[in-house]
Structure 1
């Protein structure tokens, strides 16, 4: 009986300290915060926009399809993935510079770079925010840059399209549309000048 009472007291102290169930993990903690998938998507859009606004000269971009998925580890929760396709032509010689700008931006806002794919043709960088949003910047076919962000699991809800306005017109056809906007800096076929 004493063992049960001690275990009960420890459990109450543990819950009072703000810990979450080891079975529920981070998903239960996020769900307890009262945020739903739509609110998480808005936060993801904000993180993405701040990342893009930190790049100078400005990149031209458009939204990719948003993906919503259920989380298997907790009932009634889901995750949202937002994507952006860069429509600015970024030359091979300027790819490293763009990755460096984004890396400094992310680290400057307290995000942790979790992995880097060091590839000459298809480099990528992955990071996460302190509250579990996971970001990626990657170079794909024809040197096109893509940004994506995936939210943690939150309370399931409907998710609207992003409200952030892209700075290029919508293009018809399947995703992704290839970059077609020349920029004097990012498209230059020479390494960037040293400052």
Structure 2
């Protein structure tokens, strides 16, 4: 596998994760970086995830990743909760809830053969801030931004 193929795989991991988020959220690409033999792909959620809904959001991601066979590496339960996982093919995935209820996703590839890497091809949901400073989340969701705890059905 080369860096371009690994980047495509990282994008597939992100695409699958975002497809599993129901109701859907608005998101944008963040900077993609290349190391000596690895690639990191990042996305920021532009939908506000309220403090009351963060546990449900992270639980949904956790169930999806574990259902795909990803192994949990660590969990951070601080004011900025985060989960770290590894895929069966050795890609590291992370979700972190930052200030203002903004979720940040990152996929880091294993070391692979060096090659050129193209930018991600996925169309964002909402404006694309790639290459620019990502603003704080500004999209309200009846579900994800609600100030009440979700029912047990979520």
Residue 118 of structure 2: SS of its match in structure 1?
A: coil
Deviations 1:118-163 (A, max 9, x none): 12x2100000001110000001122211000000011101111001
Secondary structure, counterpart of 2:142 in structure 1: coil
| Aligned mates of 1:113, 1:50 — CA distance in 2 | 17
Higher RCO by CA contacts (8 Å cutoff, separation 6 or greater): 2
Alignment-derived partner of residue 66 in structure 2? 107
Where does 1:30-49 land on structure 2 (aligned, <5 Å)?
35-49=1-15
Task: Give the alignment's TM-score, normalised by structure 1.
Answer: 0.76
Q: Decide which of 16, 24, 29 is 1:63's aligned counterpart.
A: 29
- Give the helix-richer structure, 1 or 2: 1
Against the structure 1 CA distance between its residues 52 and 149, is the aligned structure 2 distance closer, same or farther, given a 3 Å change threshold? same
Distance 1:185 1:142 in 2: 16
Match of residue 86, structure 1, among 30, 41, 45: 45
Stretches of structure 2 lacking an aligned partner (at least 5 in a row): none
Aligned-CA RMSD value: 1.3
Q: Return 5+ residue gaps in structure 1 as ranges.
A: 1-34, 71-77
Find the aligned partners of 1:128 and 1:180 in 2 and give their Cα distance: 30
